[in-house]
Structure 1
Amino acid sequence: MAAEQTAAMRIIIHPGFHKTGTTTVQKTLRANREALRPRCRIILRPGMVALCEAARAYSISRSQTDLAMIQYEAAALADGWAARGKDIVISSEDLAGHMPGRRGLTSYDATPRIMKALVQSFAAAAPDAEQVLYFTTRAAAPWLRSCYVQHLRATRITQDADEYATEMAGSANLDQIVAQVAEAVPDIRVIAQPLEACNTPLGPLAPLLDLLHIDTSTLTPRAPDNTAPPQGKIDAMLAMNRSALSDADWRVAKDTLKREDF
């Protein structure tokens, strides 16, 4: 019986992308953890901080040392999975690396190599498990807009939304990155799920759980999280970024605006 459970084990990896409904997926998984516990083990960023940080570090450095750290942390995370035999759901956009627009990155071009390192380590730990890479994607224009607002929330970016979209247009071809991932891991099933096609209450989580044949009708949905603030607050943050405020005063002003649901 144990051998049959191990053979049937699935590992579903949801590595992003950023701003494609990932926060809502993760908060819905967390809210329904008890209901899902008999069917699968859920691993979110707090349960794999070192692995997420290794992936982010590699997306910047592209060093063999950081790649080896991904493999090491993935192996440590997966230790014992085969023995327990329970399906695994992993979700964090940080597994794809840093969001384009941060640290000089202009695309997710490190993601295929990160995914190859991940699945190789998981395969070594649970050789009979079926692995699936499940990416959520989004149309270019709304994705660029959402990324811009996220940068505006976190950094002292001074471009307006149109300037950002023009400069970063090349980063928005998420389907191309998914295709490159599929080439990097030809033996692994790779899925791209457009956010716009997720019209059920559970949004992009529903097709993920369908992969495990889980009845989602009993789960509690959540309203979309991390949505864009009103245009007035976006304009106020941009003006603040462009102001002569010192960095210290800017951080105080930014924190004040964020407490007002920016």
Structure 2
Amino acid sequence: MVQRLVVHAGFHKTGTTTLQNTLAAHRDLLRPHAHVILRADMKGLCEATRAYSKTRTDFDLGLVAYEAALLAEGWDSDTVLMSSEDLSGHMPGRHDLTDYSAAIALAATMTDTWRAACPDIEITWVYTTRAAVPWLVSCHVQHLRAARMTLDADAYADAFAGSADLEGIAARIRDRVVDADVHTLALEAHRDNLLEPVLALGGLSESLRMHVTPLPPANTSPSAETIAEMLALNRSDIPQNKWRAAQNALNRRSN
């Protein structure tokens, strides 16, 4: 029976991909000590959480509970480590979302579901955060790449400044989810090894954690020239299929 669950649920653009890549690369090392679950291992739950962030309906929140319960049936270790920013819903800026407020009900629902499945489980939520200015810049670039964003960086920062209070959303989650611990980890404080404190919260020994080598940063920002090209491409009138091909070429060039 699982005894400890650590859920890293975002937020987007806070070093999450690097953390997840490091977890994936060390899955075999960690397997005797923890069951690692990444987005590919919980597609149904991630699709449900993203859907709820758009609709905010009781039906979609019920689907989140269903998928969370289904996932718990496959836990096969005393310790489970989960990581996906999708567990907090879509990134602000997508689907007319202006903040992460959906993450509050999502965390509460999943906590209640897993507590019902495993009454004695110790649940810890972890949210990685980032200072407002660089976070907004990084989100803007992500939207340029993925969503045909036409706002420039300054206009985006003005329009979505309210979404950057990541610590504030985490505090609201902490107030709502009284049956679990809620931690935040600032990217600026843990950039060299963001995964290490997550593993520590999972109760994994220091001697084991020393063998987990952080991978290089992923999804780094492209050059200012490439960002300008992306914005111009998004503002153009080319068809969507040609836009995607051109945008993919720019992404490959910047990696």
TM range (shorter): over 0.9
Paired residues of 1:152 and 1:238 also in contact (CA < 8 A): yes
Q: Tell me which of 206, 212, 219 is aligned to 2:196.
A: 206
Pick closer, same or farther for the CA change 1:159–1:199 going to 2, 3 Å.
closer
Matches within 5 A, 1:41-80: 41-79=35-73
Paired residues of 1:15 and 1:134 also in contact (CA < 8 A): yes
Measured after TM superposition, the shift of residue 228 of structure 1 is 0.5
- Please give the per-residue CA displacement for 1:150-176, whole angstroms capped at 9, x wherever unaligned: 000012111110110010000000011
- Please give the per-residue CA displacement for 1:80-128, whole angstroms capped at 9, x wherever unaligned: 54xx452000000000000000000000011010001111111111111
Say yes or no: does 1:137 pair with 2:157: no
CA distance in 2, matches of 1:234, 1:46: 29
Paired residues of 2:195 and 2:214 also in contact (CA < 8 A): no
The size of the alignment, in residue pairs, is 252
CA distance in 2, matches of 1:23, 1:242: 28
Moved more, 238-247 or 177-186: 238-247
CA distance in 1, matches of 2:56, 2:205: 38
CA distance in 1, matches of 2:94, 2:135: 15
Measured after TM superposition, the shift of residue 236 of structure 1 is 0.6
Moved more, 34-43 or 72-81: 72-81
Matches within 5 A, 1:93-104: 93-104=85-96
Aligned-residue sequence identity (percent) comes to: 48
In angstroms, what is the RMSD of aligned CA positions?
Answer: 1.3
Partner of 1:254: 247
CA distance in 1, matches of 2:77, 2:151: 49
CA distance in 1, matches of 2:50, 2:198: 24
**1:193 aligned counterpart, secondary structure:** strand
Unaligned runs of 5+ in 1: 1-5
CA distance in 1, matches of 2:72, 2:239: 45
Matches within 5 A, 1:181-192: 181-192=173-184
CA distance in 2, matches of 1:132, 1:219: 21
CA distance in 2, matches of 1:220, 1:53: 30
Partner of 2:218: 225
Paired residues of 2:34 and 2:77 also in contact (CA < 8 A): no
CA distance in 1, matches of 2:191, 2:173: 26
Amino acid of the structure 1 residue aligned with 2:251: K
Partner of 1:3: none
Say yes or no: does 1:162 pair with 2:154: yes
Measured after TM superposition, the shift of residue 199 of structure 1 is 4.7
Structure 1 segments, 4+ long, off by >4 Å, are none
Using structure 2 for the length normalisation, give the TM-score: 0.95
Measured after TM superposition, the shift of residue 214 of structure 1 is 2.8
Paired residues of 2:34 and 2:79 also in contact (CA < 8 A): yes
Paired residues of 1:140 and 1:172 also in contact (CA < 8 A): yes
Partner of 1:90: 82
CA distance in 2, matches of 1:109, 1:199: 26
Partner of 1:9: 3
Amino acid of the structure 2 residue aligned with 1:43: I
Paired residues of 1:24 and 1:223 also in contact (CA < 8 A): yes
Paired residues of 1:107 and 1:171 also in contact (CA < 8 A): yes
Paired residues of 2:141 and 2:221 also in contact (CA < 8 A): yes
Measured after TM superposition, the shift of residue 241 of structure 1 is 1.2
- Please give the per-residue CA displacement for 1:192-231, whole angstroms capped at 9, x wherever unaligned: 111111054xx21111011123321111220011110111
Moved more, 142-151 or 219-228: 219-228
